[in-house]
Amino acid sequence: MKTFSAKQSDLHHDWHIVDATDVPLGRLASTVAQIIRGKHKPTFTPHMDGGDFVVVVNASKVKLTGNKLSQKTYFKHTGYMGHDTHTPAENLLAKHPDRVIEKAVFGMLPKNSLAKQKLRTKLKVYGGAEHPHEAQQPKSLTIVTSKAN
């Protein structure tokens, strides 16, 4: 048996659209991260960019479960002593809802230069329902919000 390794000519990038209305942030981020990496495809190769483009709309309506809306903070440090800032998730979601989803998806990608490139080019997040990517004819992707027993 031979191990399959995808070539650039084998890769095909599709477009997906995800509505983030009332979807838990972690579940949304893990699904989007898998699609961006291309793990849902049989041609997945870790060192190649075989993932699809993802457009996330209604980012301001994403759901943070439990007390995360008031207790979760995002840390930033300028490099100077004492210059660290802790931004509550509630404030960041109100001002920049796209950054909340981008940070969650980035946390679920491997920490390498390919992941940063994938996040920069393949993830498009919009706070409202409108987006400028209608010409790409994205496929609608639904995320299951709870497990059915």
The rounded radius of gyration (Å) of the Cα atoms in the chain is: 17
Please check whether residue 85 lies inside any domain of the structure. no
For 87, the enclosing helix (H) or strand (E) is strand 84-88
- Give domain status of residue 78, yes or no: no
Using DSSP's 3-state secondary structure scheme, residue 26 falls into helix
For helices 113-122 and 97-107, the axis angle rounded to 10 degrees is: 150
Amino acid 145: pLDDT: 79
Q: Which tokens is 9 given?
A: 């000519």
d(CA 137, CA 45): 26
What does the pLDDT profile of the chain (149 residues) look like in tens digits? 888 888 889 899 999 999 999 999 999 999 999 999 999 999 898 888 899 999 999 999 999 999 999 999 999 999 999 999 999 999 999 999 999 999 999 999 999 888 889 999 999 999 999 999 999 999 999 888 776 55
Q: Which helix (H) or strand (E) holds 88?
A: strand 84-88
Instruction: Specify the pLDDT at position 1.
Output: 81
Residue 135 lies in a domain: yes
Residue 1 domain-assigned (yes or no): no
| Residue 2, domain member (yes or no) | no
98 in Cβ contact with 127 (< 8 Å): yes
CATH number of the domain encompassing residue 21: 3.90.1180.10
